Amino acid sequence: MRLHGIVGALHPTLRLAEISYGRRKGSAVSIPMMNVITINVGGTLFQTSLATLNQVPDTLLSNESLLSQNFQPDKQIYFFDRDPQMFHYILNYYRTGELHLPPGACSSSIKKELHFWCIPETHVSECCWKVLYKVQNDMAVLAKLNQVFHDEVSDFCMSKKMAGQSRVRHAVWMFLEYPGSSLPAKLWEKFFFTLICTSTLVFMFETVKSFREVDPDIKTKCNITKILNGTVLFRGWKNELAFFTTRPFLFLSHIDLVLAVIFTIEFAVRFITCPRKCNFLRSLLNMIDLLFLLCKWPSYYMEGYACVLNSTNMLMYIVLKGLTFSRIFRLFRIGRSCQGFKVMLVALKSSSGELCLMVGSFICVTLMFAVLAFLSELREATFSNVLSAWWWAVVTMTTVGYGDIYPVSATGQVIASMCAVTGMVILTLPIAIIGTNFAEYYSVNRERELYGGKQTKCEMMMANEKKGALLTRNKIHHTKVTKF
């Protein structure tokens, strides 16, 4: 075929002669006049021979009994009330044996047409899988996004139907949970976010030494030095104890306490008004809130009232105190008022395969370079062991390059160069795919916002409930064949 094409390109006249010879021999006899048929698809006429239609067995066009049902004897044509544009591609399948699809068309409409003409999807030519795949992928993205924002839409709709006490409860829930539902809710969200930021700042400044003072109650609370000397646990924990023997300035503690009270009330109100308690507790953000509150109050109790911190409750106190660090994760509440952040999380979740691929190949390749660098730098003792070489490889491959460890031998430097360049390639490839995924989610979400917004969806739901007849509108029986 390839060779043939080249020959044809050079001497088309020769090939023409050959073809005309072949035709003269075969065509006049093999195709009788009665095989020629005309098909009217939605007003457009197509002409072909019955021989062509029989090239693909077990389809609507090659089944004579089905075909004859749509035959109009007066005009001697077959009539189908279908899309004539798609039929071009269907008929070309019979003519050439390859089922191509119109580029850029929607896969759902393609599927309906293929289904009507009884051609299985597996007959689609390899080069057109892309057409089938593309829109299917887009729809999957949209479905995932709809699922993420489902609660919001259903709550929004619910708010229009409720009355009495439940209406008040729902209004409070909408006010606290959905910043976009009203202006006061938006302002409250802004204020609450400021509180979270303050809480985070307080927490950070509590660790700064110039904001801490020696705790005067330290002796009455517990004989900490005794614990230190006596217990194996605390041996070597000098830096940690610098924090336990001091306390932050009182105004920081007071702010902290006020904020804890507000957070507790807000959490309680949200829980009480929530229409779906189950989902509420399953949400990661709420679990973090709960964990924070469950740790905060006992640690306050122990700080304030427990006079003697012995080695048993000391450990518990440390654990509780440590877990209050979970408040840092509350910053991700930003995602509640920021769609982009939510979309990013959904996109990252749906790209988990690519992320695994990235992390997996990153670990393997760094480990490989670590071993190679360790071996090549053995004499210079740059790396004390393979683990430290691994740390170096990670720092090099991500191009962070702290400079705490670096190769000094020529071989080591060559390996380091390869490591850095390989890192750029290995990390860029999956990130490019994740980036494309995210871009797709992002743009589909913007389309969703524009054309399938909360208002539209809600109206659609309510309209459907009113007149059930409308629902059937989108389910028109599509295998109907008209006759006249």
User: In the bound complex, what is the minimum distance in angstroms from residue 253's beta carbon to a copy of itself?
Assistant: 17
If one asks whether residue 385 binds a copy of itself (CB under 8 A), the answer comes out as yes
The whole-angstrom separation of Cα 340 and Cα 415 is 40
Q: Which of 157, 315, 427, 458 binds a copy of itself (CB under 8 A)?
A: 427
Q: Which of 168, 261, 265, 368 binds a copy of itself (CB under 8 A)?
A: 368
If one asks whether residue 132 binds a copy of itself (CB under 8 A), the answer comes out as yes
If one asks whether residue 194 binds a copy of itself (CB under 8 A), the answer comes out as no
Which one of 155-163, 258-266, 292-300, 370-378 is the stretch in contact with a copy of itself (CB under 8 A)? 370-378
User: Which distant-in-sequence residues (6+ apart) come within 8 Å of 203 by Cβ?
Assistant: 256, 324, 325, 327, 328
Size of the residue set binding a copy of itself (CB under 8 A): 193
Q: Contact, 198 vs 259, CB < 8 A?
A: yes
Q: Contact, 328 vs 203, CB < 8 A?
A: yes
User: Which distant-in-sequence residues (6+ apart) come within 8 Å of 232 by Cβ?
Assistant: none
User: In the bound complex, what is the minimum distance in angstroms from residue 11's beta carbon to a copy of itself?
Assistant: 8
If one asks whether residue 331 binds a copy of itself (CB under 8 A), the answer comes out as yes
Q: Which of 150, 190, 282, 446 binds a copy of itself (CB under 8 A)?
A: 446
If one asks whether residue 309 binds a copy of itself (CB under 8 A), the answer comes out as no
The whole-angstrom separation of Cα 4 and Cα 17 is 14
The whole-angstrom separation of Cα 464 and Cα 54 is 45
Q: What is the DSSP letter of 398?
A: T
Which one of 174-182, 217-225, 234-242, 247-255 is the stretch in contact with a copy of itself (CB under 8 A)? 234-242
Cβ proximity to a copy of itself: between 282 and 379 the closer is: 379
Q: Contact, 406 vs 382, CB < 8 A?
A: yes
The whole-angstrom separation of Cα 259 and Cα 199 is 7
Pattern 201-230, a copy of itself, x by CB under 8 A: --xxx-xxx---------------------
Pattern 18-57, a copy of itself, x by CB under 8 A: -xx-xxx-xxx--x-x-xx-xxx-xxxxxxxx-xx--xxx
The whole-angstrom separation of Cα 347 and Cα 439 is 9
Q: Which of 148, 218, 290, 433 binds a copy of itself (CB under 8 A)?
A: 433
Q: Which of 173, 178, 244, 374 binds a copy of itself (CB under 8 A)?
A: 374
Q: Contact, 83 vs 42, CB < 8 A?
A: yes
